[in-house]
Structure 1
Amino acid sequence: MLSLVLASLLPALAHAQTVQTFAPPAACPVCVSGNYTGMSNGSLPVAPVVAGKSYDRFITIWLENTDFASAAASSVFQSIAKQGILLTNYNGVTHPSEPNYVAAMAGDFFGMGDDNNYYLPSNVSSMVDLLEAKNVSWASYQENMPYDGFAGDYAQTNYLNASAGSYTYYKRKHNPHIIFNSVASNPNRALRVRNFNDFAVDVNASALPQHVWITPNLVNDAHDTDVTFVSAWLSYWLEPLLNNTQFNNNRTLIQLTFDENESYTIQNTVYTVLLGGAVPENLRGTNDSTFCEWHANELCRRVAAPESPADSVDTHYSMMSSTQNNWGLGSLGRQDTNKTVAAVWNFQANQTGYTNYVPSAAEIPMLNLTTIFPGAANTGIWTPILAPNVSAVGAGGGSVFYNSSSTNTSLTSYTAQNLTAMNLVNPDTINPNYTYVGFNVDNTSSPAAISASSAQHASAAATSGASAATTSKASAGEKTVATGGVLGALALGLAMLL
């Protein structure tokens, strides 16, 4: 177990040792820039506002791989915390990075314990399904992504040091929406996965959607740098935007968080602040300490003694449950409905009358464990994606969303198989080759026209990939696995469930 943890940790440490000096990638946070590579596709259409109970816009900004104490020592983070609510209880759900991003979109990380490329089947539901069901507009903004809907990694000229050659500023693993084929295969969704030039245009056009995910590039999010570097980026980018009413108004809630901490041997507590005009004035500059408290020369001390109840627990699943609670959404029937790890933000729960569950100390799980969970994204302990709990009730009160035509709701357990030992390809690692190069957001064209045009392109890619498909059978249960093209991602029949 320790060797697996160290193996997954070493690449992150190697990146963190890179010494770089911050320089603004653009003239201002809402300025377009050649350093972002991809030019804007034009602004999104301005969508009608669906009123929320506590806020009308939610923006989450994700940073990388930093212990709570390291961020807390930064004067910039301290200054930002004084403008909002510091969640000293907030936790990632596993290691390394990618499964945390996926978990915050799907309520599960499906056994993922690495940063490899995964392509989750089209009938795997996500927060996108819940938002669209209530007409809540959404978008993801990825710094240095070359074009909208891009599904790979991207290297470009190093804008911090042009003489150093190319640099990989953008990584797919930090872009959760595109990991879901339900987004990547649908042009109307994929083109909402946008870059920072699009972000600048959308803000200036007052077209920023209601649910916004923001991932900075690999130096500005601290992945390849450190707290000093990301503090400089926050001073340049976030702090001015807090005063921009096209980004932040009195009905905006902003979450600044990290995906995980850097120390795999302790609980996965990360520095998270709730900001924006929706934060009540009397709570700004306060701490919401519900899981553990931080003290000088200590890592994390429980608020209560082990035999006493703790308070509610915030994790990345809380981002989902709070969003669901705010707009009265349905749920995914996964960990987003697990009240032990998916508390609604306390200030919001007080406003909406929602009662968080208070677990005992013994019920609070370890959230730093990795590689040991079976699932579709763990080739060594593989299972299909199991059915959601269709009778679950989430914080939004709505029904569980799932594809009733392709989900076997009785498949709630499965004996894990080692696909590597069986010489089989994990179907969830096969690239379906969706691509939108050359496609633009066109507010004068109907969504159906855009969809039809892109569908032809996707169909051609699928045909090309399918020609190389091969099949083999798993000895345990004679489950057919197709490899190559999109057939691999769609095979296994009932195995590819919501």
Structure 2
Amino acid sequence: MIVPSIFALAVLARTASAAIASTFTTPAPAPTSESSFYVGAANTTITNSPIVPGLVFDRFIQIWLENTDFASAASQPVFQALAEQGITLTGYYGVTHPSEPNYLAAVGGDFFGLAADALEYIPTNISTIADLLDQKNISWATYQENMPTDGYEAYNYTNSDNYTYYVRKHNPLVIYESVANISTRSARIRNFNDFAVDVGNNSLSQWIFITPNLRDDGHDTSVGYAASWLNYWLLPLLNDTNFNTANTLILLTFDENETYTIGNNVFSLLLGGVIPQAQKNTTDATFYTHYSTLTTVQNNWDLGNLGRQDTNKTVSNVFDFVASHTSYKNNNLTASSTLPQLNITGTIPGPLNPDYYVPYLAPTNGTGGGSGPTFFASNVNMTLNSSDAPAPINITAATTTSSAAGLMSNAGSMITAIAVAAVAAMLF
């Protein structure tokens, strides 16, 4: 479990880093411009399959910012101005703390017990949203600011000014080996120079995940700094039809809130050309989480599901803007309801939790946002599922050589446990 002293260290580290860069500096002449600051050269234009029409939208773009309480974001003029152009989701929540598990959840339907910003490689038999999209030839890509090369798998990257702008923990699909280990897929994990070229050539994919660097997303700076980046980057792109078409839905959200002791409510907006004029400058109090991004996409394109939390109807409501058009039935939970605790960290069992270890389990047959079946990777172990999984094992409680050996055999490797514990003590 992460102890208060680690929280204190994280706050001190964030305060120190924020002092380094208090004033936003534009990284390029425009968001559609290439820049040496982005480090990685553009790797030609991405090749996509023909557009697959959705029931409500044809393109879904997620833009994630970092570690901000709802009220702090809502007080910023740029968020207020953007809210006038879209729908404010007042009941949207992160699913845990710290950052990395939230990113994992949004593309894989689970965070597998992770309670640290650790170097993880999730096995090839664990599916993601990429599997569901590929089944229907729906193109996808992610764009990571300051990532040096496409599909870059290292823990972070430090620019020539000796500042680490890019981190792997905010790049969700590269953490899954079912994406990173396939060259045609890893090529779709792209940098911001690629983005400039892809926008210019009108070759953006249909499903897109965008992560600004550690300063621009507010992680090492402040929400005011992130707001300045939005003024520079997002506002012009909203008027660029190569980015924001008439059938584009954009989610602007945060990975988690900053105050761990309160509910994990994060300021989130639905924007884009697909939002009708009558629904602009409105609010939606429906209870959503990062799992809702999965079910909404599944619902829009009538996809299958991952058999994880995307089939848990309590935490995976489809965005009402979409559900109202598709006749999908959400639960009745709202921001004022008694909601699940989504600010818990350290005590969720899973293969990435060294204190409460359980193996990776096969997906559970279920129904997600679409009518398609649960996706099972060809190499998944179907004999290991939730019905016969062993009880969680507290690795740190092992005190003898024999018990440690038994745990290593069951857990796969004690190295992972040591690495996670070490990183948890250093990172936020």
Distance (Å, rounded) in 1 between the aligned partners of 2:404 and 2:50: 50
Equivalent pair of 1:95/1:368 in contact (CA under 8 Å): yes
The structure showing larger relative contact order (alpha-carbon pairs under 8 Å, at least 6 residues apart) is 2
Superposition deviation, residue 249 in structure 1? 0.9
Distance (Å, rounded) in 2 between the aligned partners of 1:137 and 1:57: 9
Equivalent pair of 1:42/1:198 in contact (CA under 8 Å): yes
Partner of 2:88: 86
Partner of 2:325: 351
Superposition deviation, residue 387 in structure 1? 2.0
The answer on 1:154 being equivalent to 2:157 is: yes
Partner of 1:440: none
Superposition deviation, residue 16 in structure 1? 4.0
Equivalent pair of 1:46/1:206 in contact (CA under 8 Å): no
Q: Aligned to 1:157, what secondary structure does the other structure show?
A: coil
The answer on 1:129 being equivalent to 2:131 is: yes
Partner of 2:280: 284
Rg larger for:
1
Gap runs ≥5 in structure 1:
159-165, 291-312, 425-471, 486-498
Equivalent pair of 2:304/2:374 in contact (CA under 8 Å): yes
- The Cα RMSD (Å) is 2.2
Please tell me the residue identity of whatever aligns with 1:364: L
Please tell me the residue identity of whatever aligns with 1:475: G
Distance (Å, rounded) in 1 between the aligned partners of 2:411 and 2:114: 22
Q: Aligned to 1:170, what secondary structure does the other structure show?
A: strand
Superposition deviation, residue 362 in structure 1? 7.4
Equivalent pair of 1:30/1:201 in contact (CA under 8 Å): yes
Equivalent pair of 2:99/2:255 in contact (CA under 8 Å): yes
Work out which of the residue numbers 98, 101, 105 in structure 2 matches 1:99.
101
The answer on 1:402 being equivalent to 2:405 is: no
Superposition deviation, residue 339 in structure 1? 1.1
Closer, same or farther in 2 for the Cα pair 1:474/1:245, shift >3 Å? same
Distance (Å, rounded) in 1 between the aligned partners of 2:180 and 2:415: 18
Work out which of the residue numbers 457, 473, 479 in structure 1 matches 2:410.
479
Superposition deviation, residue 416 in structure 1? 1.9
Equivalent pair of 2:123/2:176 in contact (CA under 8 Å): yes
Partner of 2:236: 240
Please tell me the residue identity of whatever aligns with 2:230: L
Equivalent pair of 2:308/2:363 in contact (CA under 8 Å): yes
Q: How does 1:354-365 map to 2 (within 5 A)?
A: 354-359=328-333, 364-365=339-340
Distance (Å, rounded) in 1 between the aligned partners of 2:28 and 2:408: 56
Equivalent pair of 2:126/2:380 in contact (CA under 8 Å): no
The answer on 1:255 being equivalent to 2:186 is: no
Closer, same or farther in 2 for the Cα pair 1:477/1:408, shift >3 Å? farther
Distance (Å, rounded) in 2 between the aligned partners of 1:87 and 1:320: 16
Please tell me the residue identity of whatever aligns with 1:228: G
Runs of 4+ in 1 over 4 A off after TM superposition: 359-363, 420-424, 482-485
- Deviations 1:387-406, CA, capped at 9 Å, x for gaps: 2212x111111100012543
Closer, same or farther in 2 for the Cα pair 1:362/1:388, shift >3 Å? farther
Q: Percent of counterpart pairs with the same letter?
A: 49
The answer on 1:231 being equivalent to 2:231 is: no
Distance (Å, rounded) in 2 between the aligned partners of 1:65 and 1:389: 31
Superposition deviation, residue 46 in structure 1? 3.9
Partner of 1:173: 169
Distance (Å, rounded) in 2 between the aligned partners of 1:8 and 1:126: 30
Partner of 2:311: 337
Q: What number of residue pairs does the alignment pair up?
A: 407
Please tell me the residue identity of whatever aligns with 1:287: T
The answer on 1:10 being equivalent to 2:13 is: no
Superposition deviation, residue 408 in structure 1? 2.0
Work out which of the residue numbers 342, 345, 366 in structure 1 matches 2:341.
366
Distance (Å, rounded) in 1 between the aligned partners of 2:11 and 2:185: 31
Q: Aligned to 2:220, what secondary structure does the other structure show?
A: coil
Distance (Å, rounded) in 1 between the aligned partners of 2:415 and 2:175: 18
- Deviations 1:95-117, CA, capped at 9 Å, x for gaps: 00000000001111000001011
Partner of 2:420: none
The answer on 1:417 being equivalent to 2:419 is: no
Partner of 1:431: none
Comparing 379-388 and 472-481, the one that deviates more: 472-481
Superposition deviation, residue 157 in structure 1? 2.5
Closer, same or farther in 2 for the Cα pair 1:120/1:5, shift >3 Å? farther
Q: Aligned to 2:250, what secondary structure does the other structure show?
A: strand
Closer, same or farther in 2 for the Cα pair 1:403/1:348, shift >3 Å? same
Closer, same or farther in 2 for the Cα pair 1:13/1:358, shift >3 Å? farther
Q: TM-score, normalised by structure 2?
A: 0.91
Superposition deviation, residue 343 in structure 1? 0.5
The answer on 1:200 being equivalent to 2:196 is: yes
Superposition deviation, residue 409 in structure 1? 4.5
